[in-house]
C-alpha cells in the first residue's frame, strides 16, 4: 500500500497545463459571447428544455426531494471531514481486488502516470468515456504530444473533438452547437486523415437527431472493437468495497469499461461515498438534476479485476490538483460536494447568455465560478467570483445544497484582500467606497453628502434617469441607468415630518 500525503503544503493546480484558466478575463470573454445571437438561441433553447424536464421529475417526489438533498449534503460533508480515512479504505479495497491505485498531486503528475501506463501496453490510441477530470488536467493534449491518440466516445464530446472546439457545459459539452452545425462538422471531419480516419459520414446526412447519432455510432464502432486501452472518469467510488460507478445515457461508457484489456480511471479525491447505501442516495439525485430522468439509462459498476470478464488490468489514478487546498478553506470546501449535475448552469441567467467558453475553465457556470478559483488560487481566476448576479437560483436547484452565492461573496473578499496585499494602485471602485466610508463615519458628513447628491438631478432632468454618469461611475452607467437622487433626502424629510415627535418623547 502506498502512503497518501494529504497535509501541508497545499499546492494549487499548476499553470500551463489543463483547462482551469482562461486566456482572458471573464468580462471580456462574456462581452464577445453576448454578440453571438446564434449562441444565445442555442443556449436558451437547450437550458430551457432541461430545466422543464428536471422540474417535472423533481416535482414527483414532493417533500422527499428535500430530504434527499439533505442526505446528499450530509454524506458529502462526512466524506470531506474524513477524507483521509476513506481514501485509504478505497485504496485498500481496490488493491485487494487486483486493481492498482496511483496518487497524483497535480495535473502534471497525473498525466505522467497515465502516459506511462499507456506506453507500457504498447498502444498508440485509447478510447475515452467522458471524464471532466481528464479535461481538467489536459490529458488528451499530453497523450497527443507523446504520439498517442485519444478518441472521445461520448456523442457530445465527439462533436467537440471533431469540431476542434472546447466543451461549454458540464453535462452537454456541445450545448452551444445546433443540429445544422453538428451535421456540417460530421460531414467535414468524420473520416478525415487528421482525425485518425474512421468511417466517414454518409454524404446525404441530414440534421435529424437519429441520423446524426447513427453516423456517430458507425464512426466509433471500429474504435471500440480495436481499442486495447480505455480511459474513464468516475461519478462515484464506494470506499467499503472499492467499487467505481459511471452513469451515462448512450452505452459508450459500458463499451469502454468492458471491451479493452486495460482500463485507467482518473478520479478526483472528492468523488468517494462511504457505502453502497450512500450511493443509493446519489443515484436518485444525479439523474433528476442532470438529464431530468428518474434513473440513468446506463449505470456501470466495477470492482477491481475479474478473470474472464472485462479488462485484465485496472488502474485508479486519484487526483488532487488543488482539492486539498480547497478542503482547507472552511468557507469554500463545500464546493467539493459537487456531483457535476449541471443543474446550476441550467438556471443561471449569466451562463444562459454568456455560455460556457467565457468562463475559461472546463467547469463553467456557477459551480465553476467557485470551484475553479479555489483549484487554481483566486489570483489566477480573479474575475470568476464576479460572474454572477447572486440571485440564488443555483442554491435552490443544487442537489447537494451548495450555498454558491455565499461562497461567491467569500471568494470576492479573497480577491479584494489579495489585491490589497499586492499594493496595487487603488481602483475607481475602491476610491468610491473609501469616500463613502469617510462620509458615513460622521452623521454630519453623511447629511451634507446626501444634500450634495441632489445636484445629480441635473444629469437626468430630461429623461428622468441618469444614463451617463461622470467618472468614476461612467462604467456603471454604461450598462444600466442610475435613478435620480430624491429632491429631499430621507433624513431631512424625517426631521421635517417626525422630528417634533421625537422631541416630545413619543
Residues 319 and 226 in one domain: yes
CA distance 328 to 290: 28
Residues 284 and 396 in one domain: no
Instruction: Kindly state the helix (H) or strand (E) to which residue 319 belongs, with its residue range.
Output: strand 313-319
Residues 58 and 112 in one domain: yes
- Answer yes or no: is 502 within a domain: no
Q: Mind listing the pLDDT tens digit for each residue in 460-474?
A: 777 778 888 777 777
Neighbours of 9 (CB within 10 A): 7
Q: Mind listing the pLDDT tens digit for each residue in 410-432?
A: 999 999 888 777 655 556 667 77
- Answer yes or no: is 19 within a domain: no
Parallel, antiparallel or unpaired: strands 229-232 and 125-128:
parallel
Question: Given 323, 347, 378, which residue is the final one in a domain?
Answer: 323
Among 44-58, 199-213, 326-340, 453-467, whose mean pLDDT is lowest? 453-467
Q: Please say whether the beta carbons of 296 and 344 come within 8 A.
A: no
CA distance 265 to 263: 7
Q: Where are the beta strands (DSSP E) in 137-268?
A: 149-152, 229-232, 236-238, 243-248, 262-268
Residues 221 and 361 in one domain: no
- Report whether pLDDT(501) > 70: no
Per-chain mean pLDDT for the chain: 91
Residues 261 and 158 in one domain: yes
CA distance 369 to 348: 12
**CB neighbour burial string for 229-241, b if at least 16 within 10 angstroms, e if fewer:** bbbbbbbbbbbbb
pLDDT score for 392: 96
Question: SS3 string of 247-316?
Answer: EECCCHHHHHHHCCCEEEEEEEHHHEECCHHHHHHHHHHHHHHHCCCCCCCEEEEEECCECCECCCEEEE
Q: CA torsion angle for 264, 269, 270, 272 (degrees, to 10)?
A: 60
CA distance 208 to 224: 24
Residues 266 and 400 in one domain: no
**CB neighbour burial string for 444-481, b if at least 16 within 10 angstroms, e if fewer:** eebeebbeeeeebeebbeeeeebeebeeebeeebeeee
Residues 76 and 192 in one domain: yes
Q: Mind listing the pLDDT tens digit for each residue in 240-255?
A: 999 999 999 998 999 9
Residues 278 and 379 in one domain: no
CA distance readout (Å), 328 to 12, 323, 336: 12, 9, 11
- Answer yes or no: is 390 within a domain: yes
- Answer yes or no: is 116 within a domain: yes
CA distance 156 to 153: 8
- Report whether pLDDT(477) > 80: no
Q: CA torsion angle for 471, 477, 479, 481 (degrees, to 10)?
A: 180
- Answer yes or no: is 3 within a domain: no
Sheet of 262-268: strands edge to edge?
100-104, 313-319, 262-268, 229-232, 125-128, 149-152
Q: Mind listing the pLDDT tens digit for each residue in 106-118?
A: 999 999 999 999 9
Question: Given 368, 396, 421, which residue is the final one in a domain?
Answer: 421
Residues 447 and 471 in one domain: yes
- Res. 444 pLDDT band, cuts 50 70 90: confident
Residue 171 carries which DSSP code? Answer: S
Residues 340 and 313 in one domain: no
Residues 350 and 444 in one domain: no
- Answer yes or no: is 21 within a domain: no
- Res. 505 pLDDT band, cuts 50 70 90: very low
Q: Mind listing the pLDDT tens digit for each residue in 12-27?
A: 999 999 999 999 999 9
pLDDT score for 434: 83
Residues 368 and 286 in one domain: no
Domain range enclosing 253: 26-323
Q: How many domains does the chain have?
A: 3
- Res. 436 pLDDT band, cuts 50 70 90: confident
Whole-structure pTM value: 0.87
- Answer yes or no: is 133 within a domain: yes
Average pLDDT in the 221-226 region? 89
- Answer yes or no: is 346 within a domain: yes
Amino acid at each position: 500500500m502506498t502512503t497518501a500525503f494529504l497535509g501541508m503544503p497545499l499546492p494549487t493546480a499548476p499553470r500551463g497545463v489543463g483547462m482551469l484558466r482562461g486566456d482572458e478575463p471573464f468580462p471580456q470573454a462574456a462581452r464577445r459571447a453576448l454578440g453571438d445571437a446564434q449562441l444565445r438561441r442555442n443556449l436558451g433553447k437547450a437550458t430551457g428544455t432541461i430545466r422543464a424536464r428536471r422540474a417535472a421529475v423533481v416535482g414527483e417526489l414532493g417533500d422527499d426531494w428535500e430530504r434527499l438533498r439533505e442526505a446528499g449534503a450530509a454524506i458529502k460533508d462526512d466524506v470531506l471531514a474524513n477524507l483521509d480515512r476513506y481514501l485509504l479504505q478505497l485504496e485498500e479495497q481496490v488493491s485487494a481486488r487486483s486493481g492498482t491505485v496511483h496518487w497524483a498531486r497535480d495535473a502534471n503528475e497525473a498525466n505522467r502516470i497515465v502516459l506511462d501506463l499507456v506506453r507500457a501496453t504498447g498502444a498508440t490510441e485509447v478510447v475515452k468515456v467522458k471524464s471532466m477530470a481528464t479535461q481538467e488536467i489536459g490529458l488528451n493534449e499530453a497523450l497527443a504530444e507523446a504520439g498517442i491518440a485519444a478518441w472521445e466516445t461520448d456523442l457530445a464530446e465527439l462533436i467537440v473533438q471533431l469540431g476542434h472546439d472546447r466543451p461549454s457545459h458540464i453535462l452537454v459539452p456541445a450545448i452551444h452547437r445546433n443540429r445544422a452545425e453538428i451535421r456540417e462538422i460530421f460531414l467535414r471531419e468524420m473520416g478525415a486523415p487528421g482525425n485518425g480516419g474512421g468511417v466517414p459520414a454518409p454524404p446525404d446526412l441530414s440534421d435529424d437527431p437519429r441520423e446524426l447519432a447513427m453516423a456517430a455510432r458507425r464512426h466509433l464502432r471500429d474504435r471500440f472493437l480495436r481499442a486495447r486501452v480505455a480511459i474513464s472518469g468516475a461519478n462515484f467510488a464506494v470506499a467499503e468495497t472499492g467499487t467505481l460507478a459511471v452513469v451515462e445515457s448512450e452505452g459508450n461508457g459500458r463499451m469502454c469499461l468492458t471491451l479493452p484489456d486495460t482500463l485507467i480511471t482518473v478520479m478526483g479525491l472528492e468523488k468517494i461515498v462511504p457505502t453502497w447505501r450512500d450511493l443509493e442516495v446519489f443515484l436518485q439525485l444525479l439523474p433528476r438534476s442532470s438529464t431530468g430522468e428518474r434513473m440513468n439509462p446506463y449505470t456501470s459498476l466495477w470492482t477491481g479485476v475479474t478473470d474472464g470478464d472485462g479488462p485484465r488490468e485496472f488502474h485508479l489514478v486519484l487526483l488532487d490538483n488543488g482539492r486539498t487546498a480547497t478542503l482547507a478553506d472552511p468557507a469554500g470546501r463545500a464546493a467539493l460536494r459537487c456531483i457535476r449535475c449541471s443543474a446550476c448552469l441550467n438556471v443561471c441567467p449569466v451562463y444562459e447568455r454568456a455560455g460556457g467558453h467565457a468562463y475559461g475553465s472546463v467547469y463553467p457556470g456557477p459551480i465553476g465560478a467557485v470551484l475553479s478559483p479555489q483549484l487554481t488560487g483566486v489570483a489566477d481566476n480573479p474575475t470568476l467570483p464576479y460572474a454572477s448576479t447572486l440571485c440564488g437560483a443555483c442554491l435552490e436547484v443544487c442537489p447537494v445544497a451548495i450555498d454558491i452565492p455565499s461562497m461567491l461573496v467569500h471568494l470576492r473578499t479573497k480577491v479584494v484582500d489579495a489585491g490589497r496585499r499586492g499594493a496595487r494602485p487603488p481602483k475607481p471602485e475602491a476610491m468610491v467606497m473609501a469616500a463613502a466610508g469617510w462620509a458615513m463615519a460622521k452623521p454630519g458628513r453623511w447629511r451634507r453628502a446626501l444634500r450634495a447628491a441632489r445636484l445629480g438631478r441635473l444629469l437626468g432632468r430630461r429623461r428622468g434617469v441618469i444614463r451617463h454618469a461622470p467618472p468614476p461611475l461612467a462604467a456603471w452607467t454604461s450598462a444600466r441607468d442610475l435613478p435620480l437622487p430624491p429632491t429631499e433626502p430621507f433624513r431631512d424629510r424625517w426631521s421635517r415630518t417626525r422630528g417634533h415627535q421625537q422631541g416630545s418623547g413619543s
